C-alpha cells in the first residue's frame, strides 16, 4: 500500500470541470448541449497577442526565464496598474505565475497550518477552501449575501476575525455571484483591518476589468496602509481570453516575495517564455478587444437577467461584475444541485449548483454568460419549459 500523506485526503477540486466533462460526454452521445457552466470567455485570444507568442518562439525565446518572470513584463504590469488605478507598484514586487490560481496556492501555503484560521468568501471560488483544508488550517467562510448585492459586508467580515486568523481572502468582482464590493464598503473593511496588523490579505482581482453599470472596480492596492501585508491576484485568463495560456501575476508585499520566488523555483521554474511575450503584447497593445468583449458581456448580462426573472420561481439579482448570474432558485422547490443536474441531463443546459461554491450557495445556481446571446435565449426557453412542467425531485 502506498502511504500518501493525509493532507491529500482533504484536497478538493472544481466541480465546474466535472460538469464540463459530463456536458462533453452528453454532446458526444449526440445531445444538443448549451454550456452555461463554463468559467472562461467564449472569445479567441486577440490576434496580436497570438502573433507575439509565435514571434517569441521564432526569435529563439526557448529557454528558462527568471523565476519571477521577464523584466519587461513585470514593468508592463506595473505600468498597467498605474494606468488603471494610479498606484505605484515596483516591478520588483510583481511576479509572473502560471495562471491566477497559482497566487492563491502560494499565499494559502504560506499562511495555512493546523491551528490557524483562514477566511474566504462563501459562495466563492472553490479552490480557496480546498487549499485551506489541504494545509490543515481551519476554513472560516465569510458569507456573501444576496441582500448585500453579493458584496462583502465589512462589518460581518471584521466580526469573524479572531487571534488565530492569519489570512483573509477577498474577491471582487466575484465568482460565482457577479457581485462587486463598492468602494465605501472596502474603505470600511480596510479601516477595520488597522486593528489587526498581523493579518495578511489576499485580494483576488482577476475579474477587475469586468464591471458594468458604471461601477468601478476598487483595487486594494489603492490603500497604502495595508500594502505591507497585501497580496494581489490578477492575470490574463479572463481579461484577454487567455485561460489556456496559463498566465497570471501577483503583487506581493516585500517580505513575502522571496518565499513566492522560491516556491516557483521549487515547482515550475518559470512561466512558459513565449506566453510571457504574449502577455506583454496584451498589456502594451490595443485594448479594443477587451472593451468589445466586456460590452458584449454587458449586453448578454441584461438578456440573462431579464430571462431568468421570467422563469417560474426564479429571481435573479443583476450582477455588476464578472460574467456570471447567480439566480435564487429556492422558490422553485428544487435544491440547487439536483436542479443543475436535472437541467443538464434532461434539457441539455449546463449550469453549476450553488453549493459547489460553498454552503451559502444553497438556493442558487451559477450561469455563465460566456456563450452567445442566441444560445442563452435557447437555454432560458428550455429552463422555463422544464420548471413549468417538472416537479422538484
Task: List residues binding ligand PLP (CB under 6 A).
Answer: 39, 99-101, 125, 171, 175, 204, 206, 235, 237, 243, 248
What's the length of the chain? 393
Of 367 and 387, CB closest to ligand PLP: 367
User: Cβ 326 to ligand PLP, closest distance in Å?
Assistant: 13
**Alpha-carbon span 377 to 337, nearest angstrom:** 22
**Of 111, 83, 79, 113, whose CA–CA distance to 94 is shortest?**
79
Please give the full DSSP string across 287-329, using - where no structure is assigned. Answer: -HHHHHHHHHHHHHHHHHHHHHHTSTT-B-----BTTEE--B-
CB of 271 to ligand PLP, least distance (A): 11
Determine how many CB atoms are found less than 10 A away from the CB of residue 258: 11
Give the strands of the sheet with 352-353, arranged side by side. 324-325, 365-368, 352-353
CA distance 165 to 116: 6
115's CB contacts (< 8 A; 6+ apart) are 137, 138, 164
Put the strands of the sheet holding 94-97 in their side by side order: 94-97, 248-251, 230-235, 200-204, 165-171, 117-122, 138-143
Task: Name which of 260 and 314 has its Cβ closer to ligand PLP.
Answer: 260
**Min dist. Cβ of residue 235 to ligand PLP (A):** 5
Closest to ligand PLP by CB, 37 or 363: 37
Spell out the SS3 assignment of 121-173. EECCCHHHHHHHHHHCCEEEEEECCHHHCCCCCHHHHHHCCCCCEEEEEEECC
- Please, which residue, 153 or 368, has the CB nearer to ligand PLP? 368
Instruction: Quote the least distance from Cβ 105 to ligand PLP, whole Å.
Output: 9
CB of 324 to ligand PLP, least distance (A): 9
**Residue corresponding to grid cell 440573462:** 304
- Concatenate the DSSP letters of all residues of 54-87 into one string: HHHHHTT--S---TT--HHHHHHHHHHHHHHH--
By beta-carbon proximity to ligand PLP, the closer residue of 175 and 218 is: 175
Nearest partner of 253 among 219, 225, 217, 276, judged by Cα: 225
Cell, residue 9: 485526503
Looking at the Cβ atoms of 149 and 235, the one nearer to ligand PLP is 235
Q: Measured between alpha carbons, how far apart are the two ends of the chain, in Å?
A: 41
Residue (202 or 304) nearer to ligand PLP, CB: 202
Cα gap 76→165, rounded to integer Å = 34
**Minimum distance of ligand PLP from residue 358's CB (angstroms):** 13
| Residue nearer to ligand PLP on the CB measure, 120 or 334 | 120
Element (DSSP H or E) covering residue 276:
helix 273-284
Secondary structure letter of residue 347 according to DSSP: I
Minimum CB–partner distance for residue 97 and ligand PLP (Å): 9
User: What number of other Cβ atoms are within 10 A of residue 66's Cβ?
Assistant: 14
Name which of 140 and 206 has its Cβ closer to ligand PLP. Answer: 206
Nearest distance from residue 237's CB to ligand PLP, in Å? 3
Amino acid at each position: 500500500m502506498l502511504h500518501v500523506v493525509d493532507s491529500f485526503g482533504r484536497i478538493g477540486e472544481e466541480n465546474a470541470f466535472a460538469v464540463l466533462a459530463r456536458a462533453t460526454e452528453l454532446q458526444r452521445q449526440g445531445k444538443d448541449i448549451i454550456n452555461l457552466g463554463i468559467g472562461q470567455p467564449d472569445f479567441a485570444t486577440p490576434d496580436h497577442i497570438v502573433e507575439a507568442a509565435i514571434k517569441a518562439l521564432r526569435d529563439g525565446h526557448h529557454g528558462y526565464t527568471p523565476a519571477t518572470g521577464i523584466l519587461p513584463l513585470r514593468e508592463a504590469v506595473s505600468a498597467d496598474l498605474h494606468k488603471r488605478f494610479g498606484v505605484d507598484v515596483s516591478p520588483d514586487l510583481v511576479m509572473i505565475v502560471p495562471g491566477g490560481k497559482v497566487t492563491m496556492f502560494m499565499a494559502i501555503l504560506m499562511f495555512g497550518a493546523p491551528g490557524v484560521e483562514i477566511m474566504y468568501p462563501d459562495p466563492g471560488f472553490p479552490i480557496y477552501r480546498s487549499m485551506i483544508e489541504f494545509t490543515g488550517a481551519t476554513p472560516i467562510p465569510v458569507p456573501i449575501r444576496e441582500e448585500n448585492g453579493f458584496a462583502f459586508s465589512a462589518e460581518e467580515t471584521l466580526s469573524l476575525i479572531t487571534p488565530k486568523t492569519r489570512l483573509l481572502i477577498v474577491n471582487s468582482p466575484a465568482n460565482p455571484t457577479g457581485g462587486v464590493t463598492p468602494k465605501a464598503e472596502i474603505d470600511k473593511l480596510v479601516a477595520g483591518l488597522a486593528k489587526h496588523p498581523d493579518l495578511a490579505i489576499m485580494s483576488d482581482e482577476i475579474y477587475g476589468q469586468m464591471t458594468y453599470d458604471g461601477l468601478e472596480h476598487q483595487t486594494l492596492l489603492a490603500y497604502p496602509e495595508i500594502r505591507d501585508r497585501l497580496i494581489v491576484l490578477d492575470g490574463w485568463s479572463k481579461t484577454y481570453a487567455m485561460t489556456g495560456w496559463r498566465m497570471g501575476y501577483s503583487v506581493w508585499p516585500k517580505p513575502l516575495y522571496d518565499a513566492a520566488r522560491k516556491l516557483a523555483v521549487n515547482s515550475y521554474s518559470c512561466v512558459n517564455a513565449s506566453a510571457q511575450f504574449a502577455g506583454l503584447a496584451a498589456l502594451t497593445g490595443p485594448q479594443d478587444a477587451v472593451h468589445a468583449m466586456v460590452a458584449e458581456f454587458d449586453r448578454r448580462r441584461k438578456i440573462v437577467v431579464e430571462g431568468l426573472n421570467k422563469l417560474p420561481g426564479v429571481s435573479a439579482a443583476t450582477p455588476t461584475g464578472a460574467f456570471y448570474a447567480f439566480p435564487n432558485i429556492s422558490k422553485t422547490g428544487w435544491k440547487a444541485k439536483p436542479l443543475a443536474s436535472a437541467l443538464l441531463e434532461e434539457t441539455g443546459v449546463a449550469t453549476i449548483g450553488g453549493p459547489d461554491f460553498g454552503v451559502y450557495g444553497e438556493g442558487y445556481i451559477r450561469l455563465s454568460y460566456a456563450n452567445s446571446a442566441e444560445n442563452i435565449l435557447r437555454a432560458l426557453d428550455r429552463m422555463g419549459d422544464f420548471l413549468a412542467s417538472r416537479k422538484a425531485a
